[in-house]
Structure 1
Amino acid sequence: MKDHSAPMRKKILFIDSPLVPTQGGGQKSLLLLMRGLPAADYAVSVAVPEGPESDFCRDARAAGLALHKVAVSYRAVRALLRAQAPDLVHCNSATTRLTFLAALNARLSGTPFVWHVRVMEQAGWKDRVIAGLSGRIIAISGAVARRFAHSPAKVRKVYNAVDTAVFAPGLGSGDLRGELGIAPGARVVGTIGRLVELKGHRTFLRMAGKIGEKAGRCVFLVVGAGEEVYTRELKEYSSQLGLEDRVIFTGHREDIPALISLCDVVAAPSDGLEAFGRVLIEAMACGKPVVAGDAGGMPEIVENGVDGFLVPCRDADAYAAAVLRLLADPARAAEMGRNGLKKARRFNVANHVSGVEKVYAELIG
């Protein structure tokens, strides 16, 4: 006999509306959240704009999630909400047309709407319009929360998560040295992220040039992919700096934990608009010391001198000095790595999911 006393699962419709086609940290964080929500309590599906099958789509399907592709039009979004009849719409996006259409249709249908914001850049009146249509706004850092000073009562800060089963110390790097052509004993400094201006790769390359041979043989990894033109510009800039034999552009890689394990130091030279700094907690979870910029959301992750160093954004000299300090003092680097590992464990998936569930509870009980 069916147990009518059992609570009904809440239907959550996620909508992902990325600004770029490549899968970034925001989509990786969304996948962790969707997989982490208790299946006994939530029925989860996700919608994305019509277009080619992306890495995010493939990963969502592989996780067993129902995925819908929707045209970016009022009628299509209205039809999606009517067909899915969710208890709550959770939009993972920047200020896009799809975000607005989802928020508008949710309001017109009386469906609670959560806007999960992962960027710091303000969008003027568009922010105010979508914030007005939102029941709650999840900000991934205090830096993002400050973007919504006009709607503080709606904002809830929930930090991103790291999968500590995937990113952990002692994972080993296999034969990556041989594959990448890194000599035995060479020190490795890496930066990981999409190849876009925001991530500060030119600062990283200038830093590499300033470090040179001061720490002995040192190799610099640029891990990630981006648009062809920008990637070519970075490689040309590396050549202009005379770094052809020291900088390795790996392109897109799936083995990020192993690449982090290969590094002695992980640098995040993003400019002042880095909203969080996902790679920082991934590196910390692997027990690696980090060097990051002192703006945006990064100071909320890194405690200067304890689990890494914070330096002025875009200051290649300061980045080089901090990296050299870590390479010259392995004991201190190891201590920072241990401190970072303790901190990273607080950014686990369970804590992240719990934070989001508290936001849901404010809207749908």
Structure 2
Amino acid sequence: MTVWQAMRSLGWAHHKKGWRQHGWRYPFLYWAAAGLFDKQWYLQRYQDVAAAGGNAFAHYLLYGLAEGREPSPRISISGYGYRYARNKVWQPCYAIMHYWWWGRWQGLSPIPCLSGSGTQVATKGQPCLAVFSHSVGPRLYGAERSLLDVLRSLEKLGVATVVVVPNASNPGYLEALRCVSRAVYVMPYGWWREGEIDHPVTLASIQALLEATGPHAVYVNTLTLQAPSVAARRLGLPVLTHVRELPMHDPGLCQAMNSSAEGVVAHAVKHSDVVIVNSQCTAEAFKHRGVPVAVVPNVVDMDVWRAVPSLQPVSSLQPVSSLQPAPSLQAEIQQPLRVGLLGSLILKKGLEDFAALADALAHRGVAVECCLYGAPTPDVDALFAQRIEMGNKGAVVHKGYVEDPRDALVNLDVVVNLSRFQESFGRTVLEAMAAGRPVVAYHWGALPELIEHGETGFLAPLGDVECVAQWIEVLATNRQLLAAMGRAGRQRASDLFDVKAHQLAMADALSDLFPAMTVEAGPSGV
């Protein structure tokens, strides 16, 4: 789109709003945005804008820019602002004006490179991977923390990495990535959707980056991307896809990718030379499809998690082996049992079941506080509004988002996972175990691979909230059992999911691609 085309496309009302928002800067901002805006790419990248209709350029100028959206595949405004701000915080409007009116004439890269401080530098014969991130948002969730774990293991294995992210909206996360890689590049790209082809500029940019950095293979941290795999195949580079999703039981994911569950799995297989999965449950979806499958479970650094204090029994009167409630102990328990649900607070994560659990426990007369840990969402707002209207009696408290899950777990006694879709692993479950907290969850997805029923927690049939409430009541009235299960969970996490185990699993996954290269796991935590 040319500047003049953009000008003709906007009405006077849009210009008035722009002047009110930006004052005297508006003409300079408008000119810069119009010169960089790619309507076709913008609508393909941001499906919500396409679905809403209206003027795409007006949306970007008046809303999208402030929201951190990119104008085209040729530039990352967020990355440019992060790279050249010189320890200042640049607003997107300033970053785009800086590039258009000054940076591009000075040869500043619109796809910025952030140098890393990782200990591995690619040398002759040493493996090097170009790693493409799943996503970057203002808050860290399981996929982002899992990628950092992978990069740490690769670094210990002697594998150099160059990381590519779609935006620079989380400076703390970018700094963490830089600490375990040779470099971090910020390049706009989006999810694959069936029936759409990758933008040629996106493919050309990725291909140019791969040629410049010279990796031996491409590692894609999710099955939702396609462009990195296509560019890698053009250059004859093998592709590892780390699958952290179970499309067969996640209709929301399939809808976002405009495909069926089978279509999503088939697409991932087609564009991969090796599929890495995070659990045996996930592996089942990719077996017998003609591509090697390696299981690399998530990891916990037990040296970090042992700092979380263990649960302490209240009384020694109740036998640890008993799985029945002990009413005689109720008077000795001064504080209600603190039960937590952590993560993305959306309906498919079991929000409604969690609220129903609080009501079921209140009906049973069990003293509990049910705590939600996660960023505010429309689903949370709707849930609390409904509970106020209905007059529900169960104690549900929203504690907000915490950057470090240890800050939540130290204030909890029990963690529940009530997801209505199949978890491909269950990172919050593993972290709860590492913190010494029992977990009660549905017997669904990969969670039975983590939880030993009756030993480290309890499993209930999918959707059976009353059964979950029963097990919570057992733990609320038998604090010795609560503490014992916490200790057993911490030991299981240490035995099966520590740093050493993760390094060995990753080394095995890489062996198919790099048979001539020595990749050995070092001592745990080194």
Q: Scaled by the length of structure 2, what TM-score is found? A: 0.61
Note the alpha carbon deviations across 1:320-339, whole angstroms, 9 max, x for none: 11111111111222221121
Q: Which has the higher contact order (CA 8 A, sep 6+)?
A: 1
Q: Confirm or deny: 8 A CA contact 2:300 2:497 kept in the other structure.
A: yes
Q: Confirm or deny: 8 A CA contact 1:171 1:257 kept in the other structure.
A: no
Note the alpha carbon deviations across 1:266-305, whole angstroms, 9 max, x for none: 1111124111111111111111111011010101111111
Question: In structure 1, what is the equivalent of residue 154 of structure 2?
Answer: 37
Moved more, 300-309 or 153-162: 153-162
Shift of residue 348, structure 1, vs aligned partner: 0.9
For 1:44 and 1:69, how far apart are their aligned partners in 2? 15
Q: Which amino acid aligns with 1:25?
A: G
Aligned counterparts, 1:104-115, within 5 A: 104-115=230-241
Of 222, 226, 236, 1:93 maps to: 222
In our comparison, the structure showing a higher alpha carbon Rg is: 2
Question: In structure 2, what is the equivalent of residue 256 of structure 1?
Answer: 405
Shift of residue 64, structure 1, vs aligned partner: 6.2
Shift of residue 149, structure 1, vs aligned partner: 3.7
Note the alpha carbon deviations across 1:104-148, whole angstroms, 9 max, x for none: 221221212100000101443343233123111011112211222
Q: Confirm or deny: 8 A CA contact 1:13 1:45 kept in the other structure.
A: yes
Question: In structure 2, what is the equivalent of residue 209 of structure 1?
Answer: 359
Q: Which amino acid aligns with 2:358?
A: A
Of 275, 282, 299, 1:161 maps to: 299
Q: Which amino acid aligns with 1:117?
A: V
Note the alpha carbon deviations across 1:236-287, whole angstroms, 9 max, x for none: 2443454588222122112421321221211111124111111111111111
Shift of residue 19, structure 1, vs aligned partner: 9.4
Q: Confirm or deny: 8 A CA contact 2:217 2:238 kept in the other structure.
A: yes
Question: In structure 2, what is the equivalent of residue 68 of structure 1?
Answer: 185
Q: Scaled by the length of structure 1, what TM-score is found? A: 0.86
Is 1:82 matched up with 2:197?
Answer: no
Is 1:102 matched up with 2:228?
Answer: yes
For 2:135 and 2:382, how far apart are their aligned partners in 1? 24
Question: In structure 2, what is the equivalent of residue 348 of structure 1?
Answer: 498
Shift of residue 172, structure 1, vs aligned partner: 7.7
Is 1:23 matched up with 2:23?
Answer: no
Aligned counterparts, 1:1-365, within 5 A: 8-18=125-135, 22-38=139-155, 41-50=158-167, 52-53=169-170, 56-61=173-178, 66-72=183-189, 73-95=202-224, 99-122=225-248, 123-151=261-289, 153-168=291-306, 170-171=308-309, 185-212=335-362, 214=364, 216-226=366-376, 228-240=377-389, 242=391, 246-345=395-494, 346-365=496-515
Q: Which amino acid aligns with 1:167?
A: W
Shift of residue 222, structure 1, vs aligned partner: 0.2
Q: Confirm or deny: 8 A CA contact 1:238 1:247 kept in the other structure.
A: no
Q: Confirm or deny: 8 A CA contact 2:139 2:170 kept in the other structure.
A: no
Q: % of aligned pairs identical?
A: 28
For 1:74 and 1:47, how far apart are their aligned partners in 2? 13
Report which of the two has the higher share of strand: 1
Shift of residue 234, structure 1, vs aligned partner: 2.6
Q: Confirm or deny: 8 A CA contact 2:359 2:395 kept in the other structure.
A: no
**Which runs of 5 or more residues in structure 1 are unaligned?**
1-5, 174-183
Alpha carbons of structure 1 residues 74 and 302: separation in structure 2 relative to 1, 3 Å: same
Indicate the RMSD between aligned Cα atoms, in angstroms. Answer: 2.6
Moved more, 355-364 or 65-74: 65-74
**Which runs of 5 or more residues in structure 2 are unaligned?**
1-122, 190-201, 249-260, 312-333, 516-526
Q: Confirm or deny: 8 A CA contact 1:120 1:275 kept in the other structure.
A: yes
Shift of residue 197, structure 1, vs aligned partner: 2.5
Moved more, 40-49 or 13-22: 13-22
